[in-house]
């Protein structure tokens, strides 16, 4: 059974990610590292989330989420029978949230988070089915956050602009493979990345902090990826991902002491929880040229429905369908994913106070990948 059979199916775990765990966008996939021979791919995704609700003043919030594009690139070079190298570009984290003025409680609240990463990875095959991989990741991050509406009291109109910064992280993992049954289990650890971003804070037009640095950490994470043949031309595949978003606290110099936590520590602009995301699917090769796949995804809800207004969802279920067409050394694959977003209550204040109810929301994502094997 061909181990690259899952290439089209794996697209469903990457470019069609839609409002996944925390601020995840790409899921930090390294699947290209395990492709046969020398290999290159380009991937594109377009995500269309629809999240809205009703605030505590009984006014509609309007749609607060914005469509976004995802782009990825990977190149893998087989050096010899034991050693391979990969260069992978992804956009690991992001947020695009904007509350229309229709809501007096949260209207004007906005958040934009953008990140890009280049990972340089080496893999060594021990020849007995086991291999080790590791490398470094150069990652950029920039953000802009505005709090608007009556829910923020004296901080209504507060804005924090975080300049783009770039820092290094690392990744390391192990894998076990049995090509005769298309079995592969890969465990990969991604380190947190620490930034000190130049920051300007305002309330309305008034500058309340003309310049300082804010410590921001993107979370450490672990991916467990697996695939195995379960019948002729049939593959079972999936992923478990954990990310430590509770460490991603953002406390600028003005905001932190102005909106402290109950224990007196500096307040944080973000309020995200650690969490898991799960997916499992089945792929089927129908001919030498065409294969298809279907998968389901699940992200558990938090302990309660209270969430940050900047990430107004709480858990999710998803259904994905994909297909791949092979032409000599080329493979074209695509997928579509529908996501049922969990009900949530955006909150502000200390202690947390619900400011709106978000129910029956969803997202639709499409992805396309072009791959070439040398």
* Confidence band for 214, pLDDT divided at 50, 70 and 90: very high
Other residues' Cβ atoms within 10 Å of the Cβ of residue 322:
27
What pLDDT, on a 0 to 100 scale, did the predictor assign at position 8? 47
Residues 6 or more apart from 56 whose CB is under 8 A from it? 105, 354, 355, 356
Q: Give DSSP secondary structure letters for 156-173.
A: TTEEEEEEEEEEEEEEEE
CA distance 274 to 232: 39
What pLDDT, on a 0 to 100 scale, did the predictor assign at position 351? 85
Q: What is the mean pLDDT of residues 183-209?
A: 97
Q: Give percent of the chain with pLDDT exceeding 90.
A: 87
* Confidence band for 199, pLDDT divided at 50, 70 and 90: very high
Other residues' Cβ atoms within 10 Å of the Cβ of residue 287:
9
Dump pLDDT digits (tens) for 124-170.
999 999 999 999 999 999 999 999 999 999 999 999 999 999 999 99
CA distance 234 to 239: 17
pTM: 0.93
Query: By CB neighbour count within 10 A (0-12 exposed, 13-18 middle, 19+ buried), where does 158 fall?
Result: buried
- Contact (Cβ atoms closer than 8 angstroms) between residue 298 and residue 252: no
Q: What are phi and psi of 324, to 5 degrees?
A: -140, 140
Q: What is the mean pLDDT of residues 248-263?
A: 92
pLDDT at 113 over 60: yes
* Confidence band for 19, pLDDT divided at 50, 70 and 90: low
pLDDT at 302 over 90: no
Dump pLDDT digits (tens) for 334-366.
999 999 999 999 999 888 899 999 999 999 999
pLDDT at 10 over 70: no
- Contact (Cβ atoms closer than 8 angstroms) between residue 25 and residue 91: yes
Domains of the chain: 3-373 (2.40.160.60)
- Contact (Cβ atoms closer than 8 angstroms) between residue 11 and residue 294: no
Query: By CB neighbour count within 10 A (0-12 exposed, 13-18 middle, 19+ buried), where does 340 fall?
Result: middle
Q: What is the mean pLDDT of residues 232-258?
A: 94
What pLDDT, on a 0 to 100 scale, did the predictor assign at position 263? 87
What residues pair up with 332 in beta bridges, in sequence order? 325, 370
CA distance 341 to 19: 8
For residues 261 and 289, which has the higher predicted lDDT (pLDDT)? 289
- Contact (Cβ atoms closer than 8 angstroms) between residue 321 and residue 338: no
């Amino acid at each position: 059974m061909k181990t690259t059979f899952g290439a089209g199916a794996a697209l469903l775990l990457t470019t069609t990610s839609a409002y996944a765990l925390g601020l995840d966008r790409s899921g930090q996939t390294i699947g290209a590292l395990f492709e046969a021979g020398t290999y290159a791919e380009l991937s594109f995704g377009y995500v269309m989330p629809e999240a809205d609700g009703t605030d505590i003043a009984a006014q509609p919030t309007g749609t607060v989420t914005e469509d976004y594009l995802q782009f990825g690139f990977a190149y893998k070079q087989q050096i010899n029978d034991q050693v391979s190298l990969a260069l992978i570009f992804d956009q690991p984290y992001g947020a695009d949230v904007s509350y229309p003025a229709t809501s007096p409680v949260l209207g004007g609240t906005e958040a934009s988070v953008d990140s890009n990463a280049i990972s340089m990875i080496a893999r060594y095959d021990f020849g007995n089915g086991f291999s080790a991989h590791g490398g470094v990741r150069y990652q950029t991050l920039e953000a802009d956050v505005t709090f608007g509406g009556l829910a923020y009291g004296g901080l209504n109109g507060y804005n924090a602009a975080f300049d783009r910064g770039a820092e290094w992280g690392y990744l390391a993992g192990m894998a076990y493979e049995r090509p005769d049954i298309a079995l592969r289990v890969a465990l990969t650890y991604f380190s947190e990345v620490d930034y000190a971003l130049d920051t300007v804070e305002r309330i309305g037009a008034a500058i309340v902090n003309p310049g300082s640095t804010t410590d921001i950490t993107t979370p450490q994470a672990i991916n467990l990826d697996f695939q195995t043949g379960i019948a002729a031309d049939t593959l079972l595949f999936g992923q478990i991902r954990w990310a430590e978003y509770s460490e991603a606290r953002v406390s600028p110099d003005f905001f932190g002491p102005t909106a402290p936590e109950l224990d007196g520590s500096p307040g944080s602009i973000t309020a995200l929880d650690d969490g898991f995301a799960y997916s499992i699917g089945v792929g089927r090769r129908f001919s030498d040229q065409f294969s298809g796949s279907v998968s389901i995804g699940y992200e558990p809800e938090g302990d309660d429905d209270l969430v940050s207004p900047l990430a107004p969802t709480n858990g999710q279920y998803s259904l994905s369908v994909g297909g791949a067409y092979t032409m000599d050394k080329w493979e074209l694959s695509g997928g579509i994913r529908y996501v049922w977003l969990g009900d949530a209550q955006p909150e502000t204040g200390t202690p947390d106070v619900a400011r709106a109810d978000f129910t029956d929301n969803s997202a639709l994502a499409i992805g396309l990948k072009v791959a070439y094997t040398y």
